[in-house]
Every structure is written in structure tokens, then in C-alpha cells.
Structure 1
Amino acid sequence: MSATYTLDTSTSRANPTPAPIRRLTIPGLRARKVDGVTAEPIVVLTAYTARQAQLLDPHCDMLLVGDSLGQVIYGLPSSVPVTLEMMAAHGAAVVRGSYHSVVIVDMPFGSYEASPAQAFDNAARLLKETGAAGVKLEGGAAMAETIAFLTARGIPVCGHVGLTPQAINVLGGYGPRGRDEAEADKIKQDARAVSDAGCFAMVIEGVIEPLAAAITAAVPCPTIGIGASPDCDGQVLVTEDMVGMFERTPRFVKRYADLAGTIGEAAAHYAAEVRARTFPGQDQLYQPKK
């Protein structure tokens, strides 16, 4: 029996309650792809807080605690400055707020590239401190040895090929990858390398659609697309992009809501009532006992 988390409406805090339910598992997600086909696509969204996890968890197969929190939560210019401590804190919150989805935590830039041993120490720390099921790291053939090292030692790894945001200083921008033949061939080789190294899934980000579809058909592990192809075995979006929290919407994002507009309207309404002294009203006040 595992713990599920429900909202205590009197305190608005998550409280564990026993429930006869088990989380989805990494082997279970990996097993969805049979003979190159995933009949039930894998639904993935990013999550950074316990409450966000509570809301997304019933609808997702995987929650990704992405290092995109650098931009989304902390207002940083890229994911490069994100620290291991940030990932551990937010990862633990997402695990506490969920009970159904597999939770995966991004390894931040500088925490795994130096050596497989460094990657193991930091990945082990993330799993211990968060309770997450696995980690995600960026890079292709150069990271294959590290992926094999981690998986052989009990740490599930999700790969990430194509546009790799942690390498933005090398790439020079967030444009789509694989438009020229040489780059497309390298991305294919990277995908094969991380798959052969044992990753249970891989994110394919920001590559031309035919290339993403070809990689999906070529590798045995599930592929999770973002700005890639509907033929990928699953899809992921940054939740804040998906619900319209930012003015700019990347081409690969479909906005399913306008939360920024809703929040702005609510704040304007609140501000107007405060200035008019109509808030708080009688319903929000405590009166002496009679």
C-alpha cells in the first residue's frame, strides 16, 4: 500500500492518507513499446511544486521535474545556473504531491558531465532526497558511458537528444535541429547510443518532424517528443506554457488555457475591492462571540 495525497481544505496542505494504489513504474512505461509500437502514448508534463503535482498527477503517466524551473520559477535566463539543491527541493515537493505518476528529476548542468562516478554520486543524492524514480540527463553518444554506468547501478535514466538546452552556449540558440544532413545523422547516432546504453526512455526535443519519427521507429525505448513528432511514443510540455502563463508561446506549444489572463483579472478585481474598501467583507471577518 502506498501513500496518496489529498487536499486538506482547512489548511490547503497535502496530507498523506493510505490508499490501495501503486504508482506507475518505469518498467511498466518501458513495456508500453512493443515491437516498435506504443499503443497508449505516454503523457508527460513538467511539475515543480506539490500543489501543481496534485493537479497534474491524475492525468499524467510521468511528471518531469525539469531544470526549466530555472526560467519558469526563478526567472533565470537559461537552465545553466540551476543547482542540484534546487532540483532536490522541487523534486521532493513533486513526489509529495503525487501518487500515480512516475516522477523523474532533471540532473542540472555540471552535475554529471565530468565522469560517470560524479553522475552516480549526484543522481543517487537526487533519488535519496526526493524519492523520485529516476533522473534525466542531456547528451548523446558522449553520455552513453554515463548512462550505462548509472543503469547498471540501479538508477533509471531518461535520455535527451536533439535540442539540448543545457548546451545552449554551444548551440547558439533554441532553433530546430537536424535540418542539415550531417546534424541529422549525428542526432540519429546520439539516439541510438543512449538507447543502447540502457535509457528507459528518451526526450527528443526541437528536431524536424521526419527525423523524430525516424528515431522513434529505430530505437526500442519509448521516445517523448517536445517540438518533435506526433509519431513519438509520448509527449511532454512545460506546464506553464501549456496553460498560458507566459505571453510568448513557442511554436511547438499548444495553449490549452489562459491562466495568465485569469490571474491578472483576479488580481485587478482584488486590487479594486481593496482600494474601494469593499474587501474584506462580512463573510471574511471574525466577530466577537455573543
Structure 2
Amino acid sequence: MEEDRDEQQERQAGESQEKGAGIGSVKYRIMVMSGKGGVGKSTVATNLAMALAMLGRDVGLLDADITGPNIPKMLNIEDRMPTATEEGYIDPVEIPIGCDHGIRVMSLAFFLERGAPVIWRGPLKMRAIEQFIEEVRWGDADYLVIDLPPGTSDEPLSIAQLVKPHGALIVTTPQEVAIMDVRRAVKMAKILGVPVLGVIENMSASVCPHCGKPLEMFGSGNGEKMAKEMGVPFLGSIPLEPEIARSGDAGVPFVAGSNSPAARAFEDIAKRVMEALEGRTA
């Protein structure tokens, strides 16, 4: 009986891998994390996924922020639904970018009434995340970008242990209060043995379109300074541009429809991520 059960488990595992279910066939899994909320982590995750797809990669985007699932809104796919397969797996919502690649998206927001709160305890949230990781057909994606909940408590910890990511991106803003929290995120990644691909400073200095002088609404440079102090790469600064927020509200990733400094910064960061991961195994 024990041998029969083992054979059945092996066969089921093989079938799952063959059908592309779970994250085992994804080449590179990336956590996008932050020490605190409000730093634009989901905006960075969405635009990074889009930039990678525009650069010819097949990308999965997992919205693991169960109580604040915003990714479908940012991609204007709120009215679409994942589909269940006859085998009991889930096909994510797909956004074609090129002839043979695009973005596959999974979020709890697809299953919620718009604006409904998620009043769940930790175990129920983790069960949903486990299903997204194990039962969704991510296929042979090049990248899985995972938008984590903010902070360093139970959920980010459990997700990191479950996903076994190839790297972490840490998002911060220039304010010192955000830098204090992001130090904790960097230390958490190091404790878990997750390589820190780099720090991204969001809402950084921009240039006034009228006078050409720098505008530092929240300051600038603290993210790079902190990265150097902690011995991790600094991937770049995203200038504060009002159009980024407007494009997110409209469901059009900023990087896809602009040639501004912020859009170029997102693309440069995507290229650095590709160089770090694809170059590592070359």
C-alpha cells in the first residue's frame, strides 16, 4: 500500500509538471518586497513585469498581497476571470505582449466583489497563496514576479519559504522613515538566504517640466546610500511623476505608454534584473 501511494504521488507530481501547474517550471522567481506600505511596491511589480515582457520574456505576475490586491486594477483586467481546467488546475488571466509571450496574472481580486474587504486570518490567507503557487498553471514562464504584502511578518516570511525565490527586490522611498523599515526587509532576505537583487528608490527626485530644476518632494539618494551601507546592489531611482499614478488608475502600466525618464528607469531596472539572473547561470 505504501509503495502504491508513493507511485501515485510521483505520478501526480509528474502530471502537474507536465501540465505546467505550480512554479516548478518557472525559470526565475522574484519577490518584490518593502519594509512598509505606501512606497509603490505594487506599481513597481506591475511595471517590472510589463518591462520584462516588453523585452521578450514570458512573465507571471502573482499578487500575493491578499488584503490589498491591486494588480488587476493596474492592468485593467478586473472584469476578467481565471478559468478552471478539467484536471482541477487554474489558468491565470493572460495578457499577450508579443507573438509568443506575455503576462499571466493571478490575484484574489478576480474572485472578490469590487471593493469588498478581505477579513481573513493568517491560515486562510496562506491557503489562498498556496493554491496560487501550486495549482495555477504558470507554464514555462521565464519570470514569476511576486508582489508581497508589506513588512517582514508572518505572510512575507511564509511566502519566501514556500516559493524559494531566486532573488528579492526591495522597494523604498527616499524618506528616512521608509529607509529604516527597508533595512529590515534587506536583513530578512539575507537571513532567509534569498539573494538581494537590489534596492529600488521609488518617488525619487524629478525635474520640473517648466523650469528644469530638480524637484525633491520626498528627497533623493537615501536608497542608494543605504544600499551601499548594507552591501547590496542599487538598481535605480524611479522619478516622482504624476502620470505614473494616473496610468495605474487607468489600468495602463506606465512603462508601456511613455518615454519619460521614469519609464526608461523601469526598463533599465528590468535589464539589470535580467543581467543579474540570466547572467548568473550563463
Which TM bucket (shorter chain)? 0.3 to 0.5
RCO greater where, 1 or 2, for CA within 8 Å and sep 6 or more? 2
TM-score, with length taken from structure 1: 0.40
- From the CA coordinates, give the structure whose radius of gyration is larger: 1
**TM-score, normalised relative to structure 2:** 0.41
